[in-house]
Structure 1
Amino acid sequence: MAMRAPILLPVLFAALLAGAAPLRHAEAQTPQLGGKPAPATPKLPTAPSPAQPPSPEGEAKKPQAGAPEETVPALPVPPVEGKSGGASEASPKALPGTAPGAAASAPTPMRYGPASVADLADKLLPAVVNVSTAQGVKQPGRGVPQLQAPEGSPLQDFFDDLLRDKNGAGERSVQSLGSGFVIDPSGVIITNNHVIGDADTITVNFANGDQFDAKLIGKDPKTDLAVLKIDAGKPLPFVKFGDSEKLRIGDWVMAIGNPFGLGGSVSMGIVSARGRNINAGPYDNFIQTDAAINRGNSGGPLFDMEGDVVGINTAIISPTGGSIGIGFSIPANLAVNVIDQLREYGETRRGWLGIRLQALNEEIARGLGIDKEHGAVVMGVVPGGPSDNGSLKVGDVIVSFEGRKVEGSSDLPRMVAETKVGTTVKLGILRKTSRSEPAKPLTVEIKLGRLEDGEKTMAAAEKPGGDTSRANKPGGTKPGDKSATPSSAGTIETLGMTITNIDAAKRKSFELPDDANGALITAVDPNSDAAEKGVEAGMRITEVAQETVANASEVKAKIDTLKQDGRRNALLLLTAKNGDVRFVVVPIE
């Protein structure tokens, strides 16, 4: 008997905006409790119907002298002519004020949106699919008596199916629905990773009623993408990717998908914003649109008006799970590189520099002696990584990658990840070599490693309280170096912090690693500027104004020197208990 259980509704609460609404993946549910997934939409034509020539407009009346200016009505405008593979062409409609049968001399501005996208939708619908999955989950309450409905009630089948113990394993089947689209006539289909999850079976449903079992080729949780493959035994209608970088805020876009199990649904809207970071993953760069996206649209395509896929719908902001006009799509340019890797290798193979980064702000820029506020600050070098050859040092500011401007610390990882493993890349950096001189521009070359291998290396090397990054600076203190031994004992109070030297007792009480160096912060005044900057007890100061310090007295001496030089802020390099390293700027007065 077919399973008729309510479907699983995975919801991602990755962000709360302005006291608002939770961020949700656009999953779907079946419209009726206990019902089967909604049937696919009726078969649609595989090619758009030819556009019908419009009837000529009537001749507009000429305004009379002294008469008020006539308001221009919201007349239809010609549809955008698509390039090859886009919407079919149609004869232009007459413009207001044009004589009957006369050709339009100029296109009408699209003031009220496209007159119709029927031809475009007709062409694209056959390539968009419903993706349904089934997964066996542990049956809660195993051993509880079976629910019984009145004799002859159709609900009994539902209860039996819901609480069925599959093969005595204490499991039942849970279903979910999403969307996808064909990118290759051989049957390659793209969807979201969260749509297929850990499904036991994946089924693809076409608009014409065709249904196929799908095989998972590869998936990537970091970008929430998955590649499926079906064997249809015939060429399938497909769509192609466009250039998402060409999208502008205000451009029209169309979403097609499977909202709430209602397959083949089309919605229109515009690009509301670009480059959105919704804290969904390390490579967030979402397209925001007000085209209606609901649960079940996840994995479906976002088209431009030429019929190219410019985004993959994946999440919404909503208090109820329904569309409120804030939806997010993965840009096509980001997705294509990941999809190519999944198709070729069944996994991702991203580039890796082997460094830790911090965002550059105005205060840190001044402390580093640079006049730019774009770039990413190097905060550590992973031992054994691609950059562990002296090329990069803590405090370097990376401002370009292969000639492309690095706006911030979130841009660089995405650029590196999109670059092929083993490529030797050029990094433009700013490096301050002395406190009295401004930072100098330099170019360094690094051969990229593989991120997936680097993650395994870092995971194996990590230990509680350990520092997996290396300062790698000339004159810097190295683990085990006797120069790290405190030159004097005592406790110092400065800049709202209580600072002391590191000894065996302090290592034990603050759970510091054996090779911990610098000066230990034992207390922070809650009303101080340091506290506002996030400085906490247990952190270590290893540099002041990019000069290494080995103990508390050296920290005080360098801060006193900054005061004498008329400096208003102190740039401190702090290391947390977990090994995280970051710059903090603390006012001296």
Structure 2
Amino acid sequence: MSHRSRVKAQSVDIRPLAWLAGLAVATALLLQVSVAHGREAPAGFADLAEKLLPAVVNISTTQTIKNPERVPEMPQFPPGSPFEDFFKEFFERQMRPDSSPKRATSLGSGFIIDASGFVVTNAHVIADADEITVTLHDDTAYKATLVGRDSKTDLAVLKFDPGKKALTAVPFGNSDVARVGDWVVAIGNPFGLGGTVTAGIVSARARDINAGPYDDFLQTDASINRGNSGGPMFNLAGEVIGINTAIFSPSGGSIGIGFAIPSSLAKPVVEDLKKHGKTRRGWLGVRIQSLDQELAESLGLPDSKGALVSSLNAGGPASKSTIKPQDVILKFDGREVTEMRKLPRIVAETPIGKKVTVEVWRDGKRTTAEVVVGELPEEPEEVAKGPEKGQAPAAGQSVAGTGLVVAAVTPQLRERFGLDEDVKGVVVTEVKDGPAMEKGMKPGDVIIEAANKPVRTPGDLAKAVEAAKAASQKFLLLRVENPQALRYVALPLAEGKKK
């Protein structure tokens, strides 16, 4: 065999090796990108925990509670009974009311956002506290004062004077870019065991747990227990993307379902509390309700997305615009309103005084309105009157096919159901089994419109029902008012006459 032949026989095709080398380089780059964005499982959390622990504080509060002056009544005995002296002595010795005040304590968590001593926590952690103590990771304790609290988002800002002590502060991150499955680290003070680190993932986003009007919680399986409230949830970059607030637990302990206020909601609230001691929110001045499929169909909407305007606040920003009841708000300042509960948060986050475009559905088509966002006023607590128990249903006229019994408004019905003097319509006096009951209508509801026409007598409502059936409509759109709310109801109808 010639030398050339031996060389040829020993040569190797290097193209597969080059491809494998390229794949290895690409994989390494992808891993670097994944780690940078917090997608790859870390080897451990020790370095991150060591860096963040000094910024997390334990919060303890004390509250003075005075015992009620409660004296049980002594049993009555016949005069001269031998038990009379015995019980009198017993009650004076054992049942004497203790008027000395008691001190209740509670524990929570928080985190330092400014080296000058500003701390963020939950509002419920410091509620009704007479004294607030902030304890650092090195067990140094300071008395803190309340800068401001916001009950709607359950956030509070505290301030303490660290003197010459150098503090570790942590920044807010962007919770909007956090994805389900991302790693997170929670640090807090569960059951008073300070400096506890747990880890998990973002389990879900945009959870509504009926805690407030702006619910948009991050859900996590990182272990969160009592005492973690107010503590931070970190991403792997060491940024706060959530404030741990609540858990779902039948037993009271962690079962892997915890909820955190997202930083995108918390950050502007915290800034307002720091600067003004209160939260300043945008205000549209409308009462809204969610859409179901029946309401959407009644309004000619292709789906049930949006927020239905049921009424306008007198003197509010919307009342000074072209927005009107029965409009369905689809977009606000360029942001989609996919469901009713998103609108309050979108409006609240809009700068006060900004002129915005609102896209609405009206009369079967899209149109726009412009409104100048106002400042949300403090809402006075209203106590709504209602029907008294045990009252017999008032007489009225039954409306066939609806389950409703209605009557004209009278002074007696106004007083019975707590209706305003200027309310006009027909009062629901009884709801029988049928479509109205399925839609949640109750005695005391006032039907003021049917098919966008005023209702003043039971006959008006009966005619509207018959007209809708004759037109083969599946639903009759009612506008219903009671002392709690003004809303629209798509009342299902029995199959009408065919044209």
Which residue of structure 2 aligns with residue 281 of structure 1?
212
Q: C-alpha displacement at 1:502, in angstroms?
A: 2.8
Alignment-derived partner of residue 521 in structure 1: 428
SS of equivalent to 1:307: coil
Indicate yes or no: 2:333 matched with 1:402: yes
Separation in 2 of the partners of 1:284 and 1:232?
A: 34
Q: Which runs of 5+ in 2 are unaligned?
A: 1-19, 73-97, 387-395, 495-499
1:175 CA drift (Å): 1.6
- Measured in 2, the distance between the counterparts of 1:105 and 1:547 equals 69
For 2:70 and 2:290, the matched residues in 1 are separated by 51
Structure-1 residue corresponding to 2:493: 588
Q: Is the 8 A contact 1:349 1:420 kept in 2?
A: no
Whether contact under 8 Å (2:321, 2:371) holds in the other structure is no
Deviations 1:511-545 (A, max 9, x none): 4332221222222222x121111122222211112
Q: Quote the residue 1:565 is aligned against.
A: 471
Is 1:343 the counterpart of 2:259 in the alignment? no
CA 1:203 to 1:502, structure 2 compared with 1: closer, same or farther past 3 Å?
Answer: closer
Q: What is aligned with 1:547?
A: 453
Aligned positions of 1:353-502 closer than 5 A: 353-389=284-320, 391-432=322-363, 439-453=364-378, 455-456=379-380, 464=385, 491-494=397-400, 495-502=402-409
For 1:207, the equivalent position in structure 2 comes to 137
Q: Offset of 1:198 from its aligned partner?
A: 1.5
Which residue in 2 is equivalent to 1:40? Answer: none
- Give me the whole-angstrom Cα distance separating, in 1, the residues matched to 2:419 and 2:132: 49
For 1:505 and 1:299, locate their aligned partners in 2 and report how far apart those are by CA, in whole Å.
51
The range that moved more, 506-515 or 579-588, is 506-515
Cα RMSD between the aligned structures? 2.7
Matches within 5 A, 1:162-241: 170-234=100-164, 235-241=166-172
For residue 240 of structure 1, report the CA deviation from its aligned partner. Answer: 0.3
Q: Which amino acid aligns with 1:139?
A: N
Counterpart secondary structure, 2:320: coil
Q: For 1:357 and 1:365, how far apart are their aligned partners in 2? A: 14
Cα displacement string for residues 247-272 of structure 1 (whole angstroms, at most 9, x for unaligned residues): 11111100001111111111000011
Letter in 1 for 2:493: I
Partner of 1:5: none
Question: In the alignment, is the contact (CA less than 8 A) between 1:353 and 1:386 conserved in 2?
Answer: yes
8 A Cα contact 1:257 1:300, kept in partner: yes
Distance 1:530 1:521 in 2: 10
8 Å Cα contact 2:123-2:151 kept in structure 1: yes
1:533-563 deviations in Å (ceiling 9; x for gaps): 1122222211112222222222222222222
Shift of 1:427: 1.2
Query: Where does residue 247 of structure 1 map in the other structure?
Result: 178
Counterpart position of 2:254: 323
Distance 1:222 1:105, change over 3 A: closer
2:54 partner letter? P
**1: distance between equivalents of 2:154 and 2:427?**
41
Counterpart for residue 257 of structure 1 = 188
How far is 1:509 from its partner?
A: 4.9
Alpha-carbon distance change, 519 to 123 in structure 1, aligned in 2, over 3 angstroms: same
Checking the alignment, whether the CA contact within 8 Å between 1:496 and 1:530 is kept in structure 2 is yes
Fraction of identical pairs, as percent: 47
SS state of the match for residue 319, structure 2? coil
Map 1:68-217; keep pairs closer than 5 Å: 105=28, 113-139=41-67, 170-217=100-147
Q: Is the 8 A contact 1:491 1:501 kept in 2?
A: no
2:138 maps to a residue whose letter is N
Question: Contact conserved, 1:492 with 1:553, CA < 8 A, in 2?
Answer: no
Judge conservation of contact 2:69–2:99 (CA < 8 Å) in 1: no
* CA–CA separation in structure 2 for the residues paired with 1:431 and 1:103: 53
Shift of 1:322: 1.4
Mark the CA change 1:496 to 1:236 in structure 2 (over 3 Å): closer, same or farther.
same
SS across alignment from 1:452: coil
2-structure distance, mates of 1:212, 1:502: 62
Contact 1:429 1:441 in 2 (8 A): yes
Corresponding residue for residue 538 of structure 1: 444
- Counterpart amino acid of 2:489? V
The 1:322/1:506 distance shift into structure 2, 3 A limit, reads closer
Distance in 1, Cα, partners of 2:342 & 2:117: 34
* Cα deviation, residue 295, structure 1: 1.0
Q: Give me the whole-angstrom Cα distance separating, in 2, the residues matched to 1:523 and 1:214.
A: 56
Whole-angstrom CA distance in 1 between matches of 2:354 and 2:105? 43
Larger Rg: 2
Per-residue deviation, 1:320? 2.5
Amino acid at match of 1:491: Q
User: Structure 2 counterpart of 1:499, which letter?
Assistant: V
Structure 2 residue matching 1:388: 3-state secondary structure: helix
Q: Which has the higher helix share?
A: 2
- How many residue pairs get aligned? The number is 432
Q: TM-score, normalised by structure 2?
A: 0.81
**Under a length normalisation based on structure 1, what TM-score does the superposition of the two structures give?**
0.69
Structure 1 residues 507, 298: closer, same or farther in 2, change over 3 A? closer
Runs of 4+ in 1 over 6 A off after TM superposition: 109-112, 141-144
| Separation in structure 1 between the aligned mates of residue 349 and residue 375 of structure 2, nearest angstrom | 11
> Partner amino acid for 1:445?
E
Flag structure 1 segments of 5+ consecutive residues without an equivalent.
1-96, 145-167, 433-438, 466-489
Residue matched to 1:154: none
CA pair 201-565 structure 1, distance change in 2 beyond 3 A: same
Report the secondary structure of 1:214's partner residue: strand
Deviation at 1:169, TM superposition (A): 6.4
Aligned equivalents of 1:323 and 1:292: distance in 2?
Answer: 6
Distance 1:318 1:292 in 2: 12
Q: Match of 1:317, as an amino acid? A: F
Distance in 1 separating the partners of 2:245 and 2:320: 40
Task: Say which of 499, 509, 512 aligns to 2:419.
Answer: 512
Larger relative contact order (CA 8 Å, sep ≥ 6):
1
| Alpha-carbon distance in structure 1 between the residues aligned to 2:163 and 2:211 | 37
SS at match of 1:342: helix
